[in-house]
Structure 1
Amino acid sequence: MIDTISNAMTSLSMWSKMTNALKRKKNATQAAIRRHNAAQDNDKLATYLLDQVIMKNDEIENLRNQATQSNQEIGRLIHLTLLKDNAIEDLLDRLQHAQGQYDAALKHGTTLTTLEKANFEQQLRELQGKLYSQEMRHHEERKVHLAESHAIKKQNNALRTANAENEARVETLQQNNRSMRIDAIRAYVRAVSNHNFLT
Structure 2
Amino acid sequence: MRTRSELKAAALAKCRMNWSPLVLATLVFIAVCAAAAATSFAAFIVDVFVVGPVTIGIYNVFLAYDRDQSQTSLIEDMFRRGFDKNYLHKVLGYFLMDLFVALWTLLLIIPGIIKGLAYSMTPFILEENPELSAYDAIKYSEKMMMGHKWDLFVLYLSFIGWFILCLFTFGIGFLWLTPYQTLSVCEFYEDLKAEQIGKPLEGTIQ
Q: TM-score range by the shorter chain?
A: under 0.3
Alignment TM-score, normalising by the size of structure 2: 0.21
